[in-house]
Structure 1
Amino acid sequence: MPAMQPTEDTASETTPAQRFGAVVHEAARRAGYDLTPGSGGRLALARDTGMSASAVGRMLRGETLPRPSQFQRIAQVVHLDLHELLVRGGVISEESANDLPRGVRSPITPEEALDAWGVTHPMIRKFLLASIAQAIGLQQESERGSFPPDENRGGGAVHMQR
C-alpha cells in the first residue's frame, strides 16, 4: 500500500479532542488570550469559561474534550458560533449540525457584524473591533463584580447633550 501523502486537511489523522483543542486555541488567541506559558492567558480563559485551569490545559493540548454543558460558553468566550466550534472541532459532523435547531447558534462575532454592516475600511474596522473588545471586557468585569456599579440604575434618568 503506498504511503499516505500529507494534505492540508489532516483532520482525519487527529482525534476529536486534538481538533477541538486546536480550534479553541486559535480562536482564543484571536480573541486576545495570550496562551504562551506564564502569560496568564490560560487562567483568564479558564475564568471566563468557568472551567478549571487544568481542564483548559487538557483541552488546549487536545487530551480531552470539555463537558457538553461547557461548549456554549467556550464558543461565546472565543467569539465562535457554536455550530462552527462543534463542526470545526470535530465534535459533530456538518450533516448532523444541520439537524440542530437554529437556537443553538451563538451571537455573531464582531467581525461578522462589521461585515453585515458593510464596514470595509481597515482603519474603521480596527477602531470598531478595539472598541467592541474593550466593551466586552468591561461587561465581563461588571459580571464578575469588579467594575463600578452602573450609576444609572435605580431609576435615575440619563441625560444626553445634543
Structure 2
Amino acid sequence: MPTTHDGAEPTTPAERFGAVVHAAAQRAGYNLRTGSGGRAALAKDTGMSASAVGRMLRGETLPRPSQFERIARAVHLDLHDLLVRGGVISPDSANDLSERVRSLPITPEEAADAWGISNPMIRKILLANIRQAIGMQRDSERDQEQAGGNTAQR
C-alpha cells in the first residue's frame, strides 16, 4: 500500500493517487524536496502548473483526466498501472481499458459494428452518410485553407 509524502496511509482517492505518483516520480529521478527543482521539472514534463503538481503530490486534488497519460509517461509508469495503483480505476476495469481506448480514428465500418448496426439496408445508409459527411468536412477544410491563402496574398 502506498503512503503519503508524510508517511501516512492514504485515506482519500487524491491521497492515494498522489502517493503513487510521488513514489514513482522519485524512482524516475525527480528530487521532490522543497527547493530542489524536481517539482518544477515534473510540472514541465507533465504540462501541469507547479502548483497543480504540488497539490497532486500532497494528495489534495486529482489531476484532470487529460493529464493522466503525460503523468504516467513522466514517472515511467504504464498508464493502466498508474490508474489502477492510483485508485482511479479498478483492476477489473483496467483489463478491458485497452480495448476501449483507441489512439487512431475508427473506420465507418467499425463505428457501425460498435453501434450494433447489422441490418444491411440501415448499415448501407449509415455508411453512405458517414462517408458523405467526411467528404463534406474535407471540402470545407480545403475551402478554408484556400480562403486563408488568398487573404495572405493580398
TM-score range for the pair, normalised by the shorter chain length: 0.5 to 0.7
Look up the SS of the partner of 2:88 in the other structure: coil
1:35 to 32, 49, 56: 32
Is 1:50 matched with 2:47? yes
CA distance, structure 2, for counterparts of residue 77 and residue 55 of structure 1: 15
Which structure is higher in helix share?
2
What residue number does 2:60 align with? 63
Q: Which amino acid aligns with 1:61?
A: R
Change (3 A) 1:104 1:22: farther
Closer, same or farther: CA 53–94 of 1 in aligned 2, 3 Å:
same
Q: Does 1:74 align with 2:71?
A: yes
- For 1:42 and 1:23, how far apart are their aligned partners in 2? 15
Using the size of structure 2 for normalisation, the TM-score is 0.58
| Cα offsets for 1:16-37 (capped at 9, x unmatched) | 1001000000000000000000
Q: 1:101 Cα deviation (Å)? A: 1.8
> Residue 89 of structure 2: which of 62, 87, 92 is its match?
92
Q: Identity percentage over the alignment?
A: 78
Provide closer, same or farther for how the CA distance between residues 40 and 9 of structure 1 changes in structure 2, counting only shifts above 3 A. closer
- Structure 2: give runs of 5+ residues left out of the alignment: 4-8, 103-154
> Which stretches in structure 1 are left out of the alignment for 5+ residues?
1-7, 106-162
Determine the structure 2 residue equivalent to 1:22. Answer: 19
What is the rounded CA distance, in whole Å, between the counterparts of 2:23 and 2:34 in structure 1? 15
Helix, strand or coil at the partner of 2:84: helix
RMSD of the TM alignment (CA)? 2.3
1:140-155 matches, cutoff 5 A: none
Shift of 1:75: 0.2
Superposition deviation, residue 97 in structure 1:
1.1
| C-alpha distance 51-13 of structure 1, shift in aligned 2 (>3 A) | closer
